[in-house]
Amino acid sequence: MAFDFAPLAPAGAPPPAARWTGSARFNFTGGNNDADAVPLDGLMAAAQAVLAREGRSLSHYGLASGPQGYRPLREFLAAKLARGAGIACTADDILIVSGSLQALDLANGALLARGDTVICEQDNYQGTLTRYARLGVKPVAIPLDAHGLRIDALEAALADLKRQGIRPKFIYTIPTVQNPTGTILPEDRRAALLKLADAYGVPVVEDDCYADLIWSGQRPPALYAMSKSEDVIHIGSFSKSIAPALRVGFIVAPWSIMSRMLALKTDAGSGALEQMVLAEYCRDHFATHVPQLRVALRKKLDTLMEALNEQFGTAAEFAAPEGGIFLRVKLPDQVDTLTLYQKALAAGVAINPGPEWSTDKAHAKSRMRLCFASPSHEQIRDGIAILADICRKEFGVPERSANVSRTRD
């Protein structure tokens, strides 16, 4: 008989994971990217060049660059962040991590204890919300509008917490192409957020992994760049600009907190080959690759919006995001997207139901998030047609789709 590990699991361990059974045929979930846009030729040439030149440094943990990651990659990032995000930093202010998920774990690990409070956006990245739940941390959620986090609500929440004698550990925000709403926090709101953070003595965790994917190529300055009091931890990633499976992200932070996060990164460094190949590729090609990727993504967004208009008509409400890889869609109130998710999955269409991406389950009930980056144009059109059909059968909406009037079966 197989050994029973279950009784040995420590209290608080997460429930066992389900086995992976493959991806849905029409996959609108997750943060996957456009397969055709992965710069394969450039990455192959970079791998060849960097390994031929300095591959023997793989014999040493950290590639003789120390625990913060491959130095040429950190140097590339310092220059890129100065140009795009307005961040003045050096390679020494940057820690390379295994995707921005590890960055979240390190920031959480350095700052949070069970029972703590954090402030975050109401609609939020599922990976962040599940982390807070697992850590026993209370998220105080701030609603968003068309321009991101509402500063009036943030001010009210900070004042309210202060009255209760609670000092939140940090404000976690995704200010630049928010996940899942796609909003971009304008510069004046960024300034107001930082002013409040300063006034209440609360630091900021800035999760900025979509910042390269704004259609116009123009992003507001990072909170890290605007802060005058060294109270921002800035998190970025190559997942959205190059490829998520590489698992390379980074943190820019003042040494006072960087040193604490570094002490928690006990994996002897993130994958070195990925860092070397990225540094080699990005030095000459990042600036041309990203605009091409943006054009490809923008076209897919258009296809998705057209398909939704055609299949759902007025039943699907959405605002075109200014960048990123997701579209947030509001369906009529009677639609429960958790049920829609189950039914659609059985028909080979995977969506992200709103309640998994929000602290306010009722508000999110009839909302869904669709990733348009990874399905092909054809899959987008076919998948949305199937989704509309299932939605109509389950919830009676859309009444008409693809210009065909239908009644509920």
Ligand X SMILES: Cc1ncc(COP(=O)(O)O)c(C=O)c1O
Contact positions vs ligand X (CB under 6 A): 31, 99-101, 125, 127, 174, 179, 207, 209, 237, 239, 244, 249
Confirm if 34 and 376 have CB atoms less than 8 A apart: no
- In the complex with ligand X, the residue whose CB is nearer, 31 or 269, is 31
- In the complex, least distance from residue 392 CB atom to ligand X, rounded to whole angstroms: 30
- In the complex with ligand X, the residue whose CB is nearer, 31 or 353, is 31
- In the complex, least distance from residue 142 CB atom to ligand X, rounded to whole angstroms: 16
Cβ-closest position to ligand X: 99
- In the complex, least distance from residue 179 CB atom to ligand X, rounded to whole angstroms: 4
- In the complex, least distance from residue 33 CB atom to ligand X, rounded to whole angstroms: 10
- In the complex, least distance from residue 178 CB atom to ligand X, rounded to whole angstroms: 8
Pairing of strands 326-330, 249-252: unpaired
Vertex 120, ends 117 and 122: CA angle to 5°? 120
Vertex 298, ends 297 and 300: CA angle to 5°? 65
Pick from 239, 260, 237: which is nearest to 109 by CA? Answer: 260
- In the complex with ligand X, the residue whose CB is nearer, 123 or 389, is 123
Q: Alpha-carbon distance 402 to 168, whole Å? A: 49
Pick from 174, 142, 175, 146: which is nearest to 159 by CA? Answer: 142
Structural tokens at position 53: 């030149």
- In the complex, least distance from residue 32 CB atom to ligand X, rounded to whole angstroms: 9
- In the complex with ligand X, the residue whose CB is nearer, 209 or 222, is 209
Structural tokens at position 8: 């040995």
- In the complex with ligand X, the residue whose CB is nearer, 179 or 366, is 179
- In the complex with ligand X, the residue whose CB is nearer, 100 or 358, is 100
Q: Alpha-carbon distance 210 to 236, whole Å? A: 8
- In the complex with ligand X, the residue whose CB is nearer, 123 or 231, is 123
Pick from 249, 202, 198, 257: which is nearest to 233 by CA? Answer: 257
Which letter, b or e, does each residue of 244-273 get, where b requires 16 or more Cβ atoms within 10 Å of its Cβ? bebbbbbbbbbeebbeebbeebeeebbebe
- In the complex with ligand X, the residue whose CB is nearer, 240 or 392, is 240
Confirm if 180 and 319 have CB atoms less than 8 A apart: no
- In the complex, least distance from residue 240 CB atom to ligand X, rounded to whole angstroms: 7
- In the complex with ligand X, the residue whose CB is nearer, 352 or 401, is 352
Q: Alpha-carbon distance 196 to 154, whole Å? A: 8
Q: Alpha-carbon distance 315 to 335, whole Å? A: 10
- In the complex, least distance from residue 250 CB atom to ligand X, rounded to whole angstroms: 9
- In the complex with ligand X, the residue whose CB is nearer, 249 or 323, is 249
- In the complex with ligand X, the residue whose CB is nearer, 120 or 315, is 120
